[in-house]
Amino acid sequence: MGDIHEVPRPRIAAGHLAQYIGQPVCFVGRVEKIHPTGKFFVLSDGVGKHTTVELSEPLDEEISGIVEVVGRVTNQATIMCMSYVQFREDKSPFDLELYNEALNIIHEFPEYFPFG
């Protein structure tokens, strides 16, 4: 349970999921919808692409806004969530599009932003 937090978790957008199947990743996105069972929710990334996040236990709270998920990419290119955090937006809204731009840069320059 704590293991995944001890290894590098590349920050990715929905477009990267296919390349990271089976690997631990970190995904930041906006909550689009939550399944009534609370066992799945859908996040959109900075370019509007959707990703499904699965939970081993149903959500025990309402989540909304920007969420950062740590988990493993499944064979179906969904994310099996191990933990999540909601970004605070009480003072300023989070610019998800800018974050996506930052992701493009760190994927283009892994020598200056190494994961592991």
Partner 1 sequence: GYVQSPGGFGSPAGAPAEKKQRSRSQNIVPCTVSQLLAAEQVDEAFRISDVEISQVTVVGIIRHAEKAPTNILYKVDDMTAAPMDVRQWVDTDEAGGENVVVPPGTYVKVAGHLRSFQNKKSLVAFKIMPLENMNEFTTHILEIVNAHIILRKNLMSASRAPPSFSTGMSDMGGYGGGGSLPVNGLSAHQSQVLNLIKSCPVPEGMSLQELKLHLHSMSMSTIKQAVEFLSSEGHIYSTVDDDHYKSTDAE
User: For binding to partner 1 (CB under 8 A), which residues are involved?
Assistant: 5-11, 26, 66, 70, 85, 87-89, 91-92, 94-95, 98-99, 102, 105-106, 109, 112-116
In the complex, least distance from residue 36 CB atom to partner 1, rounded to whole angstroms: 27
Q: Which is nearer to partner 1, 6 or 36 (CB)?
A: 6
Q: Which of 15, 8, 54, 6 is nearest to 34 (CA)?
A: 54
Nearer to partner 1, 21 or 98 (CB): 98
